[in-house]
Amino acid sequence: MPNTTTSHWKWHLLAGLLYGALALWFTWPQAAVLGQAIVGGPIAEADGWQKVWNLWWVRTALLQGQNPLSTDLLYWPLVLPLGLQPIDLTNALLTLPVLLIAGPLSAYGVAVLLGFTSTGWFSYALAWRVSGSWGGALIAGLLVTAAPQHLTRLLDGQLEHVALQWVALALLGLVHATNAMSLRSGIWLGLALAL
């Protein structure tokens, strides 16, 4: 691999496209039923649909200017806190355009595809940053995104566990902040940890 910045970005883009194709394969037939169904096993019949409701609720709360971390819709007139359950704020914000245009069922499918793609890609970026090896980084990203635990969480409908990209991004931010101590890298690390 040539050692120019332009060449690096081409290889990184190629890796991202590869992880996108793998995400389609690993999660099939999620892309084929986008907006119609969720992919999963018996646990997803409960957990997956709860995640679809969570995405719907975050969208509804934001559009109505309400706090998405509480609701009176479940046990009215009581207001229930939702902060201790996996409300999937990051997935809702990541898929907000899809939520607004196509609805929560489509947003769920897009969040699954983005979760697998970006988990592989951020893991690849972390491994590349640490090792400098394109091939090794490619394999590392593949191993993380194709891990049995990751695939199982998809079949269980546990969208918050499909979104492993935030862990890899936080570790990438930590490596960057350690190597280049600055306010900018500290802010990036803080944002990555918050996500």
**Crossing angle (nearest 10°) for helices 104-131 and 5-26:** 140
Residue 2 has pLDDT above 60, yes or no: no
| Parallel/antiparallel/unpaired status of strands 70-71 and 80-81 | antiparallel
For residue range 70-103, list pLDDT tens digits in order: 888 888 888 888 888 888 889 999 999 999 999 9
Across 62-71, 173-182, 186-195, least confident range: 186-195
Decide: 35 and 105 in contact? Cβ < 8 Å: yes
Q: What is the pLDDT of residues 118-145, one digit of tens each?
A: 999 999 999 999 998 989 999 999 999 9
Pull the structure tokens for residue 171: 């570790």
Q: Look at residue 43 in the predicted model and tell me its pLDDT.
A: 86
The CA–CA distances, whole Å, from 174 to 39, 92, 191 equal 34, 25, 11
What's 79's DSSP letter? P
| Cα 58 to the center of its chain, rounded Å | 16
Local confidence band at 4 (pLDDT 50, 70, 90 cut-offs): low
Q: Domain limits of the chain?
A: 5-194
Dihedral (CA of 36, 38, 43, 48) sign: negative
